[in-house]
Chains A and B, each alone.
Chain A
Amino acid sequence: KAGVTQTPRYLIKTRGQQVTLSCSPISGHRSVSWYQQTPGQGLQFLFEYFSETQRNKGNFPGRFSGRQFSNSRSEMNVSTLELGDSALYLCASSLRAGYDGGYTFGSGTRLTVV
């Protein structure tokens, strides 16, 4: 059974650009959550999607957005990149909406903004 797949694994972007990250959940999982991981800040919740609807959102500016497709794959977009957006972006999938103990994380996309 395939795990959670995130692409690309690494990205280097310039300030002001925008970026799109992709997450394919485990087959059958309908919920996808996104987290930003930075040294010293841990894992900070960005948003959760379930059945193509955003169900929860963290405290991030509007430059961070996401969506989910009918096949449960999710993308997150960051516009007008800032140096502080450099981080590991993790997605986690689960069978149902909300956190039910069944989170499986992907390996992440490491974004570097220069």
Chain B
Amino acid sequence: GENVEQHPSTLSVQEGDSAVIKCTYSDSASNYFPWYKQELGKRPQLIIDIRSNVGEKKDQRIAVTLNKTAKHFSLHITETQPEDSAVYFCAASINTGANSKLTFGKGITLSVRP
């Protein structure tokens, strides 16, 4: 089955700096890659996603890039703010219908120092 790995496991940045979180996946058939943010004590929420026919997607301060050849994708956060501090999960799915399922990485704890 699919295996998703995230690196590093923790990341600390200074407020205003950029943060990059990387994920790798194992199944070349995976074609949908969402990112979830989970603040302390709260539920995971989708923040951005990308499909395999797109190399990059941006939404204000966040962007995701995908390298299908290398089977890795990354989350980029620019101008980080303290409220960006959270656990970020990447995931991969073979989104081909009723039997698709989402496989998550183990999560990365991002700390933004004020």
Residues of chain A within 8 A (CB-CB) of B95 are: 98-101
A103 to B101, CA, bound (A): 11
Q: A90–B44 contact, CB under 8 A?
A: yes
**Which residue of chain A is the closest to B106 with respect to CB atoms?**
A42
Complex partner residue of A105 from B45, B97, B106, B107, CB under 8 angstroms: B45
Interface pair A55/B99, CB less than 8 Å apart: yes
Q: Say yes or no for A50: interface residue by CB 8 A criterion.
A: yes
Chain B residues in 8 Å Cβ range of A97: 97-98
Is A107 part of the contact surface with B, judged by Cβ < 8 Å? yes
Q: How far is the CA of A48 from the CA of B102 in the complex (A)?
A: 11
A61 on interface, CB distance cutoff 8 Å: no
| Chain B residues within 8 Å of chain A by Cβ, number | 22
Q: How far is the CB of A73 from chain B (nearest CB, A)?
A: 18
* Contact indicator A101/B106 (Cβ below 8 Å): no
CB <8 Å contact, A55 and B34 = no
Expressed in whole angstroms, the Cα–Cα distance for A56 and B101 within the complex equals: 8
Q: Does A64 contact B (CB under 8 A)?
A: no
Assuming the contacts A40-B106, A42-B104, A42-B106, asked whether A98 and B99 have C-beta atoms less than 8 A apart, the reply is yes
Across the interface, A43 reaches (CB within 8 A) one of B32, B45, B46, B104, namely B104
Given the interface contacts A40-B106, A41-B106, does A98 sit within 8 Å of B101 by beta carbon?
A: yes
Task: Name, among B42, B98, B103, the residue most crowded by chain A CB atoms within 10 Å (CB to CB).
Answer: B98
